A and B are shown apart, each in its own frame.
Chain A
Amino acid sequence: MNTHITSDFTPDALIIGGGIAGLQSALDLADQDLQVLLVERQASIGGHMIALSKVYPTLDCASCITTPKMSAAAHHPNITILTNTEVEGIDTRDGVHRVRLLQKPTYVNFDKCIGCRLCEYACDTEYPDPFEEGLGAVRAIAVPFTNAIPQKAVLNAEVCGTCGACARVCPTGAIEYDQQPRHLTIHTDAVIVASGFNLNAITVKPQYNAQHSQNIISPLTLERLLAPHGPYGRVLRPSDGKMPGSIAFVQCAGSRDESIGVSYCSRVCCMYAIKQAMLLSGALPLADITIYYMDIRAFGKGYEQFFQNAKAMGINFVRGKVARIHPVEDGDLSLHVETTEDAGNPMQERRHDLVVLAQGMIPGWQPSDVTPVACASDGFVATPALTAPAATTVPGIFVAGTAAGPKDIVDTIAEAGAAAMQASQYLYQKRSAVLVG
């Protein structure tokens, strides 16, 4: 736990969320010589992006783009990072935002911890690794993942048996079992909400029976399976470790579906499914890969070409919404679909080893519960001004990335830059008005 920050600290801007949007906004503000406090709920910054394998449409390694950003933010003299910290509320009065923070105990003194991992090696308690989407195991005290920032061990009190092994081996005496949560109130002139997204539950459509098969997986799980440093180091299916020979992507499995209350499009699933299909055909050259879709939304720069390349690579695209998925013998899955391209035999029952459900993007945090920021009907932060895309309903509070609605990394970075620019412009105008007045 970082205990250097107190309520006396008054940064120019506070950024909620240390994913790619928050990092980009923080760097863009800090480079303008503004003091930034970056608040992250997880134990490491990096957000969803640091867990991805490669990004479309360039197929660049996601870690190779995210890690330098994380590192740059962590080493920037104008950026202070608080991890394991949640925003409890924002009270805005007279243009000043009082941000109430809850710093959760990590049971490790960050000043003393040198990230040597001796505690991790000594610990004998393991639990499913959240970073690996539960596929691998992680120790109760551990550095969250290889390239996590900060490189400090964090103890999970829910699974720790307090045996004392870590404290005995720690060369710097950093383990503090008696750490307490800290409440902080930070006064700041500008806030950027970059709280990101979650995926809706994989079981949201009961017709897909995801609770009855380990081989119906989330796209984020597949990202970890595809990542070179993933849980198995190769693509194996979770139930039995078999190398899948036939993989299905079921698109719109959690969005564009009013029957589950998510009527909007998640905007990334078509493209990441195509990307994952391409990566799979590299990882498993003999596998049949099928993407079941309603329509392919390849709208960005170079996206259509990416889609055409995937078709040319031999990935099957089947137009039809999958209605039911049933587990069958050997851990396989049977998909029931009406294909509109095969007029002679439209109703098909198709069998696959592994099924990836394109879950829908939903807001990662609801600021409207604890702040004056309004959300739109879809639950994402409302951005009412067409000409100021990062402005929320509250002056001085801005929004960036998927907190404002589903979008991909390219758009998120562009929007994070815009939010930083609008925030610095707001700060400049506010302060020059004070000076003149």
Chain B
Amino acid sequence: MARVVNTSLLQKIKKHGAGRKLDISACFNCGNCTAVCPLAEDSGGFPRRVIRMAQVGMEQDLLASEELWRCYACGECTQTCPRQADPAAFMAAARSYAIARYDFTGLAALANRSVLGNLFVFGLFSAIFSALLLTRMNAGGPDLPLFHFLPGEWIHNIGVVLFSVVGLSAASGIASMVWRFWRKRVREGDALSIAAIPGAVYSALSDALTHRRFGQCDADATTQELAAQPWHQRPWLVHASVMGGFLAMLLATTLDFMFKPIGSVVQPWYLTRILGAVGGLVCLYGLSIVLLRRAQGKEHPYKKSSFADWFFPVLLTATVLTGLFCEVIVYLPSPATLGHDIFFAHVVLAMDLVAMLPLTKFAHVLYRTLALALFAWRNAPAKAAASVGAEA
């Protein structure tokens, strides 16, 4: 099939790497990055092939390539790139571009392309949630319990609507990625078996939860930088603590949503409370290392940070910190005005976080897991065929 080279795609992706001085045009496709990558496998070489897609303007192929998400940005390719074209930063920019393209509202494009756009979307959501909360906020003295200050039912109702809207938005993004993947497989005549889907989903979820590949990524690294770090500061462990802590908090919030009477005050040893508090602390540990490393900017994968790289962990840190503060003040006899303000901020930040899930770097929880499943799905028949061939 004839293809028309479209050089504008590279320019568009470069905008997503703004501030990183992304020099991917220097790439001459030698393939060192792919060969040096601890995660590239036979069936899907990256970054080189993905870079090539961007260079010649194969946008549909780029957006259909789950390889984009199988990269964990260990930086091995960037360190050994003969052209210093920074393939790892390119992959990050391309992921940001994909998030923008999978989202149909256009908000993700706005949030991912520029600092101002990012702040605008954040401001917009914060304003909406603040306005919604203010309509039912109860004035009162410093002694007013938190869930009277902002009625629990109201927060609950906003939450239900928010989760539904975000769920739909995320579903559309996922559908967009799956549809492109499917079309590419059909176009290339790959056989995909429906029966392989559960296995693929299982492998993706277990991979996402155990961080197996992420661990492999830094275990294989020959770079002294990664090897020199103590175990408790290895990227995969840091990421696992952020994600694990977040999941614990999410679980605690969900359980509270479903089972805890709205607005009731429980004892500190209540299961979900402990779960939330421990999750928050674990998450905070991971985030503090991430932010510290980004501020130092010395080693991969934290060497170069775009605004979006900062925005998501900072938002998450703010949410967790305010949340932990609220955990404490509910047990104080009087929350005081500061307590009210922080509770208000926490609710708004938490809602922002959820609302911006499909729009920011946060979206990687959806797309990366999905990509792992799609990759496992694509490989399932190939593996079966290979094993049959081996027996014969």
Contacts and interface: CB of A to CB of B under 8 A. Distances in A.
Interface of A: 205-207, 252, 256-259, 294-295, 319-324, 336-340, 345-347
Main secondary structure of the interface of B (DSSP, over half): loop
Given A336-B35, A340-B29, A346-B34, A321 B42 contact: no
Contacts of B48: 338, 340
Contacts of A258: 81-84
Given A207-B80, A319-B31, 6 more contacts: A258-B83, A259-B84, A320-B31, A321-B35, A323-B36, A337-B35
B36 A347 contact: no
A294 B28 contact: yes
A313 B83 CA distance: 32
A232 to B, nearest CB: 33
* Number of chain B interface residues as a range: 20 to 34
B26 to A, nearest CB: 9
Contacts of A346: 31, 34, 42, 45, 49
A336 B32 CA distance: 9
A338 B43 CA distance: 12
A131 B215 CA distance: 48
Interface in B27-70: 28-36, 40-42, 45, 48-49
B35 A323 contact: yes
A192 B34 CA distance: 46
Contacts of B80: 205, 207, 259, 323
Interface of B: 28-36, 40-42, 45, 48-49, 79-84, 222
Q: Which 4 A-B residue pairs are closest in the complex by CB-CB distance? A: A323-B35, A323-B36, A338-B31, A321-B30
Given A207-B222, A336-B35, A347 B82 contact: no
B84 A347 contact: no
Contacts of A321: 30-32, 35, 82
A320 B83 CA distance: 14
B89 to A, nearest CB: 15
Given A256-B82, A258-B84, A347 B45 contact: yes
Contact of A345 (B28, B33, B42, B222): B42
A340 B41 CA distance: 14
Contacts of A206: 222
A319 B35 CA distance: 12
Contacts of A256: 82
Contact of A320 (B30, B49, B84, B222): B30
24 contacts: A206-B222, A256-B82, A258-B81, A258-B82, A259-B79, A259-B80, A259-B81, A259-B84, A294-B28, A319-B31, A321-B30, A323-B31, A323-B32, A323-B33, A323-B35, A323-B80, A324-B35, A338-B34, A338-B48, A345-B42, A346-B31, A346-B42, A347-B35, A347-B42
Nearest to B49: A346
